[in-house]
C-alpha cells in the first residue's frame, strides 16, 4: 500500500481506502503517507479494545507496550493525556499513576490525532461492540484539501456513522 501511495500520480486520481488492521499492527506512519496523497479518503476500523487492553489501570506499562502505542497513535503525549497522579497517599510516599481516560475521551483523542494529518475528520466515529464492550472505533478521514469535496464526503460519512 505504501508503494502504491508513493508511486501513483494522485493529481488525476481519487481513492477510498478501507483499513481493517490486524489488532494494533497498523503504523501511524502509514496513515501519514495515505494522508499526504491528498487524494485518498479513509474508513479506519481503529482497534479500540486492543488499545484499551494495553492501557493498564496503574500506569505501569511495559516499554514494548509504550512503543506499540507510540507507533499506533503516532505520538508520545498519550501517556500524559491518559494518566494522572493518584491522589491516594501510599505508605512509601511514592508517586503512583492511575488511568484517567474513559471510552469517550479515548475516542476524542483518536479523532484529534487523525485531525493532525487529515484536513477533515468526521467527529462522530461509531463504536462497534461485542458483548457491550467497544471492540472497534469506525472512523472516517478525508485527505482532499478541497473544502467542497470534503463537505460532500463528510455528509456521506455522517449519514453512515449516524450524525449527531
Judged on CB neighbours under 10 Å (0-12, 13-18, 19+), 35 is: buried
User: What Å distances lie between residue 109 and 25, 30, 73, 137, 146, CA to CA?
Assistant: 19, 18, 9, 12, 25
Report pLDDT for 89: 61
**Residues forming beta bridges with residue 160, ordered by sequence position:** none
Q: Which residue has the cell 499513576?
A: 97
42 vs 163, residue with greater confidence: 42
How wide is the angle at C-alpha 127 spanned by C-alphas 157 and 47, nearest 5°?
A: 100
Burial of 93 (0-12, 13-18, 19+ CB in 10 A): exposed
What is the pLDDT confidence band of residue 119, given thresholds at 50, 70 and 90? very high
Mean pLDDT score, 84-93: 69
Comparison of pLDDT for 72 and 12, the residue scoring more = 72
**3-state secondary structure at position 50:** helix
Query: Which residues constitute the domain of residue 70?
Result: 2-7+14-161
Helix (H) / strand (E) element for 43: namely strand 40-46
Q: Name the domain count of the chain.
A: 1
pLDDT band at 134 (very low <50, low <70, confident <90, very high): very high
- CB-based contacts of 88, cutoff 8 Å, min separation 6: 96
pLDDT on residue 68: 96
Q: Is the pTM of the predicted complex or chain greater than 0.85?
A: yes
Q: What is the mean pLDDT of residues 80-97?
A: 76
User: For 83, which DSSP code?
Assistant: E
Q: Residue 94: pLDDT above 90?
A: no
Give the gyration radius of the chain's Cα atoms. 18
Asked if pLDDT for residue 128 goes beyond 90, the answer is: yes
Amino acid at each position: 500500500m505504501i508503494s502504491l501511495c508513493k508511486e501513483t500520480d494522485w493529481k488525476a486520481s481519487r481513492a477510498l481506502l478501507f483499513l481493517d488492521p490486524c489488532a494494533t499492527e497498523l503504523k501511524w506512519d502509514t496513515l501519514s503517507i495515505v494522508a499526504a496523497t491528498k487524494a485518498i479518503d479513509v474508513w479506519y476500523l481503529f482497534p479500540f479494545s486492543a488499545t484499551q487492553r494495553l492501557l493498564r489501570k496503574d500506569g505501569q506499562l511495559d516499554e514494548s507496550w509504550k512503543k506499540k502505542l507510540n507507533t499506533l497513535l503516532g505520538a508520545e503525549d498519550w501517556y500524559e493525556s491518559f494518566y494522572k497522579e493518584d491522589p491516594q497517599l501510599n505508605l512509601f510516599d511514592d508517586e503512583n499513576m492511575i488511568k484517567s481516560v474513559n471510552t469517550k475521551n479515548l475516542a476524542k483523542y483518536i479523532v484529534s490525532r487523525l485531525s493532525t494529518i487529515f484536513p477533515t475528520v468526521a467527529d462522530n466515529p461509531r463504536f462497534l461492540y461485542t458483548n457491550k464492550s467497544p471492540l472497534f472505533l469506525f472512523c472516517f478521514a478525508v485527505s482532499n484539501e478541497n473544502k467542497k469535496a470534503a463537505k460532500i464526503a463528510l455528509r456521506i460519512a455522517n449519514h453512515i456513522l449516524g450524525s449527531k
